[in-house]
Amino acid sequence: MTQLSRPTATAPLPIQDRFGRIKRKLRISLTDRCNFRCPYCMPERPEFMDRADRLSRVELSRILMLFVGELGVNRLRLTGGEPLLRRDLEGIIEDAQALRPFGLERVSLTTNAALLEKRAPALKAAGVDDLNISLDAMDPTIFAKLSGGRSIKPVLAGIVAARDAGIPVKLNAVIIRGINEGEILPLARYAARENLPLRYIEFMPLDGRGEWTRDRVVPQADILEHLRAEFAVNALPRSNDPAAYYELDDGNEIGIIATVSNPFCASCDRLRITADGSLYPCLFSKNGISLRDPMRNGADDAALSKLIRSTVWNKDAGYAANPGYSDRPIAMNSLGG
């Protein structure tokens, strides 16, 4: 890769929206394709983008340099679709790690882990700082139901392989009423046994099938009630992290991301980019602004920077201001969770 230099000589001017929320975290989806078909995420008949429409490694590197060097972003999460489907993932991680001198602090990855077992050592060598692994159930039948018929075995093997490779792992579980609220305790027991932090996520109204209804959300209060059947649960001080954290009396930490029952929009410091290079200031934004098209048409860094700043400035207040089903035209596999 070419030698990187900051686009301008000055220190980055942090990027913020009109509500004064400074943005430090960027999530980039590397592909909308996935080897799973989670019903709460993927449309029934997904139409995937052409590979040529996806940001290339070189384009990703340029965008990252802008966000870190020029706009003050310091945490990057690579997601998807399933990011392990990208063969150049290790190279993308290496390119991102080259931005540490410009202020980047972490490069994280969110994955379903099904393809992780063999790849964990290479990801560690490339410099990934940590992994969020989605695990919605311990029961193989319920796991299959929530993944579109896939097996839990390679996922559990992937978790072990990541740990053996020395990569810190956190678990994420989406909880849906009538499907896996009975898995809240088995997941907590597994996480404690393996000494892994676990976060439960409320089912968000962004599924590709339009099946979300409010009564299918298991709210934070109900998740806590399930946990209290077996554990003493102590709330930990709240930070500006989207999750509320608790310590269980077995010593393990759990978090709950209560986007629906207790949205954290007021302190949101995140931005998102789709695999084809559209910037979505919010998970619930109706539209994205293409960065890829101006980039492919020869826009310079100053023009791109201006476009990004104005898009982010106009970010909406978020889900808290407009709760309910989101009729956003793209699903979670395109935007990345």
Q: Which residues bind ligand SAM (CB under 6 A)?
A: 34, 40-41, 79-80, 82, 110-112, 134, 172, 174, 201, 203-204, 206-207, 332-333, 336-337
* Token pair in block for residue 182: 């009975």
- Number of chain residues interacting with ligand SF4 (CB under 6 A): 13
116 touches ligand SF4 by CB under 6 A:
no
Angle between helices 57-65 and 89-97 (to 10 degrees): 20
CB of 91 to ligand SF4, least distance (A): 21
Burial profile 145-177: b = 16 or more Cβ within 10 angstroms, e = fewer: bbbeebebebbbbbbebbbebebebbbbbbbbe
Q: Does 7 bind ligand SF4 (CB under 6 A)?
A: no
CA–CA separation, 73 and 65 (whole Å):
10
Task: Extract the tokens encoding 215.
Answer: 């009564």
Cβ nearer to ligand SAM, comparing 133 with 295: 133
Contact 40, 174 (CB under 8 A): yes
Least distance from ligand SAM to the Cβ atom of residue 132, Å: 6
Q: Using CB under 6 A as the criterion, what x/- string covers residues 12-51 for binding ligand SF4?
A: ----------------------x-xxx--xx---------
| Token reading at 295 | 């980039």
Comparing C-alpha atoms, which of 182, 337, 170, 132 is closest to residue 254?
A: 170
Would you count residue 81 as binding ligand SF4 (CB under 6 A)?
yes
CB of 249 to ligand SAM, least distance (A): 27
Task: Tell me the two tokens of residue 267.
Answer: 């302190």
Q: Is 335 in the site for ligand SF4 (CB under 6 A)?
A: no
Q: Minimal CB distance to ligand SAM: which residue? A: 337
Nearer residue to ligand SF4 within complex by CB, 72 or 81: 81
Question: DSSP state, 176?
Answer: B
Quote the tokens at residue 34: 């996935």
Q: How far is the CB of 29 from ligand SF4 (least distance, A)?
A: 9
248 contacts which partner out of ligand SF4, ligand SAM, none, CB within 5 to 8 A by kind? none
Q: Does 80 engage in binding with ligand SF4 (CB under 6 A)? A: yes
CB 191 within 8 A of CB 173: no
Q: DSSP letter string over 183-203?
A: GHHHHHHHHHHHT--EEEEEP
Tell me if 328 sits within 8 A of 43, measured CB to CB.
no
172 binds, among ligand SF4, ligand SAM, none (CB under 5 to 8 A by kind): ligand SAM
One-letter amino acid for residue 173 of the chain? A
Closest CB 335 distance from ligand SF4, rounded Å: 10
- Partner whose binding site includes residue 42, from ligand SF4, ligand SAM, none (CB under 5 to 8 Å by kind): ligand SF4
CB of 295 to ligand SAM, least distance (A): 24
26 forms beta bridges with 76, 271
Binding site for ligand SF4 (CB under 6 A): 34, 36-38, 41-42, 80-82, 112, 134, 332-333
